[in-house]
Amino acid sequence: MTKDTTEIEIHLLLEALYRKYGYDFRQYSEAHIRRRLMNRLALCGLQTISEMQSRVLHDREFAAVLLQDLSITVTEMFRDAEFYRAIRQSVVPILKTYSFVKIWHAGCSTGQEAYSMAILLQEEGLYERTTMYATDFNQRALDQAREGIYANEQMKEYTANYQRSGGREAFSDYYTSNYNMAIMEASLKKNIVWAHHNLVTDSVFAEVHMIMCRNVLIYFNSDLQSKVQHLFRDSLTHGGILCLGSKESLRFSGLAEEYIELDKVQKIFKKKYPGGE
């Protein structure tokens, strides 16, 4: 089947972005990439993807803008409240059996979900013995996550999410308002390690008891999804917990038999011990 010109141009642009700057989007979902690129094309007044490729190669600032376009930064605190309810019910009892806990937030974006987990763990009496690794390839997003500063106007929605998720305190206790911004409490930051890691090109980050990677794999093609799921398998301890997004699955990874399904709806899995338990 003959490829259309735009498809060829997109392929060449992604190859250029990888060879010039080392960021690999070549195995991302074609629909996601095309949508983001066509939006940027309209915004910058260029006529073709080939023109965009030339600019990417010769204009580092424009390349940085395009990188932001292609990054996945859609997130919020306590997103999908029922997921956090499931964590309290099904996962917290397992984590409480460990003398220390290591959690990896893969693709943490601007940090809202990492802070959500920190709050939950604090309320469950687990945070003091937990180290959370929050990683992303987008340095700008990581910098914002590390600062933990968000728009005050978002706090109303976050508060409602928190309350629906089974939160036990006043959500306002976890941040300080300053003009139009909300600053997350320092106590929530002390056990979070923010680090650069690229799921596409990097290897195992650490051996951990739990991995959170929700609504990230849906932007990858099937081969890349399988590669990343093998990376997660290799990173989890036996009995470790894998949390995926509601539209994501282990079904086509070849790894489903290595996990026990703790929550079918919320896509929470437990890695089996040797022998199948």
Q: Which residues contact 155 (CB under 8 A, 6 or more apart)?
A: 171, 172, 175, 177, 182
Same domain, 87 and 224: yes
- pLDDT 10s digits, 159-202: 999 999 999 999 999 999 988 999 999 999 999 999 999 888 88
Of 78-82, 108-112, 244-248, 258-262, the range with the lowest mean pLDDT is 244-248
Residue 172 corresponds to which tokens in the numbers above?
A: 């306002």
Domain limits at 17?
5-70
Same domain, 90 and 201: yes
CATH number at residue 235: 3.40.50.150
Q: How far is Cα 43 from Cα 46, in angstroms, rounded to an integer?
A: 8
Q: What angle do CA 195, 197, 198 make, to 5 degrees?
A: 155
1 has pLDDT over 50: no
Q: Which residues contact 190 (CB under 8 A, 6 or more apart)?
A: none
Best CA proximity match to 268, nearest among 237, 246, 235, 238: 246
Best CA proximity match to 137, nearest among 186, 210, 64: 64
Is the pTM of the predicted complex or chain greater than 0.75?
yes
Domain assignment of residue 76, yes or no: no
Residue at which a domain ends, from 70, 97, 118: 70
Same domain, 156 and 243: yes
Domain assignment of residue 187, yes or no: yes
Same domain, 234 and 105: yes
- pLDDT 10s digits, 30-80: 888 888 899 888 888 888 999 999 999 999 999 888 888 887 666 899 999
Same domain, 48 and 123: no
